[in-house]
Amino acid sequence: MNRDSDNGQALLDPSQSASVLTQVAALVGSELRDVDEIFREELRSPRQCVSDVLQHVTRFQGKRLRPILVLVTADACGGVRHAHKVLGAVVEMIHMATLVHDDVLDDADTRRHVATVNSRWSNETSVLFGDYLFTHAFHLASSLETAHACRVIGRATNLVCEGELSQVHERGNLDLTEDEYLQIITGKTAELCAVSCYLGAHYAGMDETVSRSLEQYGRSLGIAFQIADDILDLMGNEAKTGKTLGSDIEKQKLTLPLIRLLDQSPPEQASAIRALLSHPEAATRRALQRYLDASDALEYADERARHFVNDARRHLACLPDSPARRLLDQIAEFSIRRKF
């Protein structure tokens, strides 16, 4: 249940990602470069020590799923305006703040094969640099004419933090339910995707009904994406994901496949699995693998992710057909097809 580290590239099956990325570039490539420029401009600092960290951090920037959601939603809703570019930079900044703080929490050494801020500098620098990204995100959001964007972004980040706090609180809780899990990932991951799409629609002039529908598209996409990420964490390995494993098992974070496995196991087997999970060590994954292979846990988690993809796509029905709408459809579809 680590937060995704990819922002888009790892979102996609490599064989299919090229086409989606090409379409993103064709539709909003120039706007995405403007987002990058606004991002860099806002964070520019006369203090060398700040510039150094910033320079480093942009090296593990991914493909920017959240700004892409703002821009493509905007395009699907009538067109990208200046506010969308500002908001794209804002949501990316918030996402990066949470990543930098996640790396402190996880004591991670690398992210996307690049040294984390805490390993390169210190935990102190990471905590403060994360704060720096948060406050600049809000400062940038306040450059828009009204306080509306600040309000919805403030509310979304409140929910992100609550989700994260709950996740830390539930570590080691081997009785976590599917509902509790969904509540956590909705806050931690899905809210920022939801607000990205909401803002894309709202600032393109859509009414509240359409904007809320797009928000729900983003939320369901984010949930599906995180379920897929959690399946990957259970199955993946460091060489492929490019981040220190620090897997959910190690951290005793229960994710959907394990919740299902425990739920479907006879009492004695469930006890044996809980015993494995409560003392995670190198052999734990292999031992779990046998239980997982004999169960429907992974299929079930896949199905649940698929359910949220379908829900996301349904929420696009309020929009007229367009290349951007079809791209949103594809992004939802491929969010659960990641292979690394």
What residues make contact with a second copy under the rule CB under 8 A?
45, 47, 49-50, 53, 97-98, 101, 104-105, 122-125, 127-132, 134-136, 138-147, 150-151, 153-155, 157-158, 160-162, 164-166, 168-169
Shortest distance, position 95 Cβ to a second copy, whole Å: 13
Mapped to the 3 state alphabet, what secondary structure does 82-102 carry? HHHHHHHHHHHHHHHHHHHHH
What gap in Å lies between CA 71 and CA 84, rounded to an integer? 6
**Of the two residues 132 and 291, which places its CB atom closer to a second copy in the complex?**
132
Question: Toward a second copy, which CB reaches closer, 158 or 289?
Answer: 158
Residue 186 CB, shortest distance to a second copy, in Å, is: 13
CB of 276 to a second copy, least distance (A): 23
Residues 6+ apart with CB under 8 A from 67: 32, 35, 88, 89, 91, 92, 196
Q: Rounded to the nearest whole angstrom, what is the least distance from the CB of residue 236 to a second copy in the complex?
A: 23
Is 134 or 308 the residue whose CB approaches a second copy more closely? 134
Cα separation, 192 vs 153, in Å, equals: 8
Identity of the residue, 37 or 131, whose beta carbon is nearer to a second copy in the bound complex: 131
Cβ proximity to a second copy: between 17 and 244 the closer is: 244
Backbone phi and psi for residue 111, each to the nearest 5 degrees, phi listed first = -140, 125
Give the chain's length: 340
CB of residue 74 to a second copy, shortest distance in Å: 20
Least gap, CB of 124 to a second copy (angstroms): 5
Q: Among 64, 61, 126, which Cα is nearest to 100's?
A: 126
To the nearest 10°, report the CA torsion of 95, 141, 326, 12.
-10
Contact call for residues 246 and 233 (beta carbons, < 8 A) = no
147 vs 294 by CB, closer to a second copy: 147
